[in-house]
Structure 1
Amino acid sequence: MLLFKGTKFVILPNRNASSLKFLAELLVKEGGMLVNEEKEIDCDTIVLINDSFITNTNTIMKNELFFKEFDLDPSTVWNNVNTYKLKCVRATCISEWLRKSSFQINPELVLSVEDNLEDNSEDHSGVKFVTHSATPLYNYDLITAKLLKNSEKAARQIPEVYSSSQNKSENSELAGKSMETEVSNKMGEEVKRTVDISQTTSVPKGNEKLIQALGRLAKRYEMKGDQFRARGYKLARIGIEQYPFKIESGAQAQEEISNVGASIAKKIQTLLDNGSLPGLQELFESEKRVDYFTRCHDIGIYTAKKWEIMGLKSFSEACTIFPEDFTRDWPILFGWSYYEDWLKPIRRDECEKLASVVQQELHLIDPQMKVEILGSYHRGAEKCGDIDLFFYKAGCDDISEIGRIMEDLSISLYRKGYVQCFLQLTRKIYKAFNKIIINRLEKCHLKTTPTLQYTARDDNPRKFMLGVKLPDKEKRQFESITFVDNYKLKPEDMFMSLNSDRSPCRRMDFFCCKYSELGAARLQWIGPKEFNRWIRLKAMHNGLKLTQHGLYDNHNVLLESFDEQRIFQLLNEDYISPSERNHVVKKRRKV
């Protein structure tokens, strides 16, 4: 029996430190699972902290250095540690557990971390975060000058503002604030133009190549494990995507788009001069294999690199060499089966139709429950990667009750053919779905038995992860968005495919919250990640703590949780509408 079988661990601040690599290998060898991404942290995760950051009194020292060493996002990780009240112990406890052949976390081993960390108000990432309202994503003075210099040409270059089919009053809340610039021409006549950069849906001709190149560079550095550079290229790409003019020089991009620095500006100039960057089109075979694997649901960079190092090129080879990766993390089987479908973007109107099916079924189960689409859809995105549905009930703070309703809803939708798969289990879901899991295991020739069991860790979850699809007759009205052929399954992996061009399966997540925490929860689930990181750091700098449960003072006294706008007021910030939250950007601190 493996000592740590099925237990999830996160090693902090950086598991790649030379002193921790061997311990991490021992942990995995004994059945432990290592967290590769922030989203994998849940209420059962054990936190292992490098002993060099622990004092004799079991508290963390060198806080600033500790945060700077993180290979994961420090703000998100520590919010999860506090939210889930995770147990934190010294990393060297691994060797002690192995020596005794007993995995038990005694109270005296648990570190005191919350107070020690929350008091540290430094910006541990080495960058500062600014909002659209504080430091603009663009230099509006220069943009205004462009409008004056050639108003007709500029007007043609400004993409049309996206308008959804939603109710106009709801759409106006999402649309955000427009920048109105009034200027006078030489004849004294006033020219008034409204530029809503946050809602642009097309890209000026010529900028597409820059966006593609920066996206490829971001992906390359991400696969190399250089998250700092990867994030920088991602932010530069986002800035150019939203910029309403054709970029004609690197200097222009650096001057007018705040998250384009000197180094990226040079690359932009080279792209404009030569049409490409040296080596940009060359994606090494190892990078291609890692990229192929990591696009599959539930496969992180660590697992992908392990398979690549072994020379594996396909999922079929991986399940032969590492069958335990698929039997232990069985949701990978469905990521493999719906690989192509889950990489296809989802149009807004399809999001609305998919959500309406859930809404209709929910009304039959509990008419008082409410559900709304959050995530990128709520921020006004024209297309989404998945669909985030947020559940709550007026006056209800019983999460167990809401969780049971979501569970009954998901099972009912499964029996009606709307839900195609579950990506985590409760006892009730296991009874309804275990035969499908076994079928997928047998399909890829993994050994299983009729008595195979999957232990449910949490029978009162706050989140359900699903694969859903519309019936063929309802899907016909939605035109598919152009799909990149590079995201196809390899021929040797096609035997597991459940993909459909006619009616693709879509990823959908159910979330919920207490009614009293509605405002704070909406802040969390509307996102995006960079905005959440910025606003929580803003709270820390004010001596406060913001989580998905509410805003607290330094004595852990709740200040506000229900009213989203009141939270902004307490942080001394103007309210930032959902669409404007796309424009929370970060800059390197100037030396």
Structure 2
Amino acid sequence: MAIFKGRSFILFPNNEVSSINIFENLIKNNGGKIIEYEHDITNASPDINYGYSHIIGLVNDSYLTLNNNKYEIYENNLLLNEMDLNKRKLWEFVKKNNITLVNISSVSFWLKVKKILINQDNIITITKDPGLHLEEISTSDSCNQSTSECETDIGDIINELVKCNSGSSKNLNSNLNNADNVGEVSSSGTLHGLKNEVIPQYNNEIEEDNKSISASSLARNTNGNELLIKTLDKLSKIHTIRGDEFRSRGYKLAKISVSKYPHKIKSAKEAQEKIPHIGASIAKKIETLLKTGKLPGLEIASKLESRKEYFSSCYGIGPVTAENWDSLQINSLNEALKRFPKIFQHDWSILFGWKYYEDWNKKIPRSECVKHMQIIKEELKLLDDSIECEIQGSFRRNRALCGDIDILFYKKECDDISDLYVVLEMLAIKLYKKKYIKCFLQLSKNINLVFDNEIQTTLQKAGISNNEFRSISLTNRPKLFLGAKLSTTIPEFDTSLYTINPEIDVKLHSEDKYMSSSVQANSVSHALEEYPCRRIDFFICKWSEIGASKLHYTGSGEFNREVRKIAISKGMKLTQHGLYQNDILLESFNEKRIFDLLDIPFIEPPDRQELKF
């Protein structure tokens, strides 16, 4: 059956979540094509008589609402925030060429009736122009030699949030009326024409760097700049929660720069002239902080964002879903489950994010990372002793604490990803049967066979029925996302690394704890007695691409972004697969030679926080 043969589909807002992967696979398995990039459009020429009628836009049902029996997009800005640049350009293409938009769940109906049926009832109406301007997007993350600012206002943030927080406006004081601007990206030292590139693998990595810098900087001598670092961190987090990565990144860079500055900052002028990533707007905030010790409205804005932060701290819940639930004044995961059971039914991995919510929000000491690696290496050796693996990410950068554990697998002289994946899958299944791996967050056919019962049990515990579709990844996908736990108790000499701090540790609300298997939720002492479950990601790379892969997976995210900008400035392109010029591979095997070709000195992994070239 190939009912989608000759048809092309664009998935909005993206195809990153498991529920969308389901439909993506169904479309491909039934003869359809998925359009993911702008250049795919150039190959999809319009029919002389029917134009682009062979292309259908599919929108995630989570972003839709029924109004007078007509589907409408719930909130255009929520949809747009979840799109990467390619999807935004495709959205413009859809509007320009009047491409038919329908809800993505129509796919399952079409498969049941064995033909595509589109009527006026399931066509989506765009009631309001999303206000997307590609000119702004293409330049918003680019710059020239002068300082470029992107500003918003704390008062505006609060006013927007108050609409979704009944009664909060009564608590706002007159300071908010005079709140000053809070958001800026200084473009000093960056390059013109860079597209807003989204690197999902590093979202957690960047956040881990933020927390690590904040904690480590404040633990050591910060030369009297603690208040500035804390404030910049709060501003960054507010914009991250709101899904505004552009402004958030500006504050992250400013915070990193301030934390590295060897002197106490005495004036805004000093900060702007001597510290990278400090432009006029951030300098103004520094001036306010130095004079008054606070930024008007910031604490209130932080509190009003706390509900979104609670949701977005759960694996599988992005900023758009968190924003949606917050706007509906949903206060807990349990309440969201009752309101939107299908989201948890289709995106079943969210339930495991809930189950290990507190564990996965705790930092991992390096010593524990080493213990995880020992278990994995010992089991891998029994399967194939020619395959090697190394921890990447913040561990390779010699950070004291890691957010998760990224492990890169490779085999000398082997470029067959499928061959490596077979062993990787066997390794994961064996470790699951030995109760080291506690959960899988994506499935292959073989993993589904051993893990399906656990999914069913978790669904039943949540009080929802079995999901109709299960997202099965292609067997050659070079990654696995897991949760794993050391079975031994924490040695007494290590207990200081696992103390429970109520002021810092992320905790589930009381009404959500019934789903929890986190060790913190079940601990009755001030320190954990057993190891928490940890997030572990397995990645595979070709032997010929080992250098580019290590550069990519080592990070930090901000470091990678800056190196890619340098590549672009030289007419090159850098990815985890290699360094290219005019689509010709220049280097992928030797990490140091990639630096040489970019004409920058090799930077050792521990120094890849500095952003100095």
Q: Is the 1:49–1:90 contact (alpha carbons within 8 Å) kept by the matching residues of 2?
A: no
Q: Match for residue 525 of structure 1?
A: 553
Residues 414 and 420 of structure 1 are in contact (CA less than 8 Å); yes or no, is this contact kept in structure 2?
yes
Counterpart contact for 1:369–1:391, Cα < 8 Å? yes
Indicate the residue corresponding to 1:47 in structure 2.
36
Asked whether 1:497 is paired with 2:513, we answer no
How many residues are treated as equivalent by the alignment? 457
Partner of 1:411: 429
* Amino acid paired to 1:234: K
> Equivalent residue for 1:314?
332
Query: Which of 273, 284, 294 pairs up with 1:266?
Result: 284
Residue 471 of structure 1 pairs with residue 471 of structure 2: no
Distance 1:230-1:96 versus aligned 2 partners, 3 A rule: closer
Counterpart position of 1:566: 593
Report the 3-state secondary structure (helix = DSSP H, G, I; strand = E; otherwise coil) of the residue aligned with 2:481. Answer: strand
1:580 is matched by which residue type in structure 2?
D
Q: Pick closer, same or farther for the CA change 1:123–1:515 going to 2, 3 Å.
A: farther
Aligned equivalents of 2:429 and 2:10: distance in 1? Answer: 27
CA positional deviation for 1:539: 2.3
The answer to whether structure 1 residue 95 and structure 2 residue 114 are counterparts is: no
1:510 aligns with 2:538: yes
Letter in 1 for 2:514: F
Matched-pair identity in %: 40
Name whichever of 242-251 and 230-239 sits farther off: 242-251
Q: Distance in 1 between matches of 2:44 and 2:422?
A: 44
Report the counterpart of residue 307 of structure 2 in structure 1. 289
Task: Check whether the contact 1:123–1:537 (CA below 8 A) recurs between aligned residues.
Answer: no
Q: Residue 544 of structure 1: CA displacement?
A: 2.3
Match of 2:376 in 1: 358
Q: Determine if the alignment matches structure 1 residue 378 to structure 2 residue 367.
A: no
TM-score by length of 1: 0.68
RMSD across aligned positions (CA): 4.1
State whether residues 342 and 507 of structure 1, in contact with CA within 8 Å, keep that contact through their aligned partners in structure 2: yes
User: Does residue 402 in structure 1 map to residue 443 in structure 2?
Assistant: no
Instruction: Provide the secondary structure at the position in 1 that maps to 2:498.
Output: coil
For the 8 Å contact 2:444–2:474, the answer to whether it is kept is: yes
Name the CA distance, whole Å, in 1 between partners of 2:336 and 2:217: 42
CA separation in 1, counterparts of 2:83 and 2:327? 26
> Cα gap change, 1:204/1:412 in structure 2, threshold over 3 Å: closer, same or farther?
same
Question: Are 1:462 and 2:451 matched, yes or no?
Answer: no
Amino acid in the other structure paired with 1:461:
R
Q: Which has the higher contact order (CA 8 A, sep 6+)?
A: 1
Structure 2 CA distance, aligned partners of 1:124 and 1:262?
17
Q: Does 1:390 align with 2:396?
A: no
Amino acid paired to 2:431: L
Show structure 1 runs of 5+ residues with no match.
13-23, 35-43, 59-69, 106-121, 130-134, 138-197, 587-591
Unaligned residue ranges in structure 2 (runs of 5+): 23-32, 47-79, 117-137, 146-187, 191-215, 520-527
8 Å contact from structure 1 (residues 371, 391) kept in 2: yes
1:254 is paired with a residue whose SS is helix
Taking a change above 3 Å as real, the CA distance of residues 11 and 323 of structure 1, as seen in their structure-2 partners, is closer
Does structure 1 conserve the Cα–Cα contact (< 8 Å) formed by 2:386 and 2:412?
Answer: yes
| Displacement over 6 Å in runs of 4+ | 48-51, 53-58, 86-89, 96-105, 198-201
**Residue 438 of structure 1, aligned match among 421, 436, 456:** 456
Cα drift, residue 73 of structure 1 = 9.5
Change (3 A) 1:552 1:481: farther
Which residue is equivalent to 1:153? none
Deviation at 1:523, TM superposition (A): 1.4
CA contact (8 A) 1:568 1:575 kept: yes
Give the Å deviation of 1:399.
0.4
Letter in 2 for 1:95: L
Specify the SS of the correspondent of 2:609.
helix
User: Which residue does 2:155 correspond to in 1?
Assistant: none
1:215 has 2:233 as partner: yes
SS of residue in 2 equivalent to 1:472 = coil
Q: Deviation per CA, 1:380-405, whole angstroms, max 9, x where unpaired?
A: 21211111111101111110111111
User: Alpha carbons of 1:510 and 1:56: their partners in 2 closer, same or farther (altered >3 Å)?
Assistant: closer
- Matching residue's letter, 1:462: P
Pick closer, same or farther for the CA change 1:123–1:455 going to 2, 3 Å: closer
